[in-house]
């Protein structure tokens, strides 16, 4: 989610200037892009995420991303990087469902998923094709599906 809203830059890792106590302070007047066109995966009907993953509680926005024939996810900071509890949950979920995910910690982007996802992300990063998903200046580190 990037763009400028009322002169304030919107980009991953930077909390929204208009974020109030658990809600958007300009909700009724929010612009179409990036706000109205953006849809958090937590809000998807039938999503697998617990109530505690609501973005204003989690500090991380989960975005649905299609990868090949699978549903994948990107974890985007909304005030904090993903913590180990969230990453443990996502790793277990990914291992059980085959849904890969991308996330960033300390400026390094990471990819977790099956070997094919790892190879695809490595190749896309080498071709510079991850810029629509990730900060193009941040390095990409890959983590295999297995945690052991």
Judge whether 134 and 140 are in contact, CB under 8 Å: yes
Same domain, 86 and 132: yes
Q: How many domains does the chain have?
A: 2
- Which carries the bigger pLDDT value, residue 126 or residue 41? 41
Q: Which domain holds residue 23?
A: 1-38
At 91, the pLDDT band (50, 70, 90 cuts) reads very high
Q: What is the pLDDT of residues 69-83, one digit of tens each?
A: 999 998 987 778 899
pTM of this structure: 0.73
Mean pLDDT in residue range 90-103: 93
Mean pLDDT of the chain: 79
What's the mean pLDDT in 74-96? Answer: 90
Say how far residue 106 (Cα) sits from the centre of its chain: 15
Whether residues 128 and 140 fall in one domain: yes
- Binned at pLDDT 50, 70 and 90, residue 141 comes out as low
More confident residue, 13 or 36: 36
88 Rama sector, left if φ>0, alpha if ψ -120 to 50, beta otherwise: alpha
Q: CA angle at residue 14 from 144 to 10, to 5 degrees?
A: 110
The residue ranking higher by pLDDT, 118 or 130, is: 118
Lowest mean pLDDT among 11-15, 24-28, 137-141: 137-141
Residues 68 and 23 reside in one and the same domain:
no
55 and 86 in a single domain? The answer is yes
Do 67 and 133 belong to one domain? yes
Backbone angles phi, psi at 71, to 5 degrees: -80, 130
Same domain, 28 and 56: no
Which of residues 57 and 98 earns the better pLDDT score? 98
């Amino acid at each position: 989610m990037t763009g400028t809203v009322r002169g304030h830059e919107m980009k991953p890792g930077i909390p929204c200037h208009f974020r109030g106590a658990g809600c958007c302070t300009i909700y009724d007047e929010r612009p179409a892009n990036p706000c109205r066109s953006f849809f958090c995966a937590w809000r998807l009907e039938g999503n697998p995420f617990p109530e505690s993953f609501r973005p204003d509680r989690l500090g991380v926005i989960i975005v649905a991303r299609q990868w090949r024939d699978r549903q994948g996810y990107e974890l985007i900071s909304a005030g904090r990087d993903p913590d180990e509890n969230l990453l443990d949950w996502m790793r277990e979920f990914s291992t059980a469902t085959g849904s890969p995910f991308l996330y960033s910690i300390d400026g390094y982007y990471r990819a977790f998923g099956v070997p094919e996802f790892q190879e695809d992300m490595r190749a896309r990063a080498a071709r510079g094709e991850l810029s629509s998903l990730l900060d193009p200046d941040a390095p990409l580190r890959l983590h295999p599906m297995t945690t052991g």
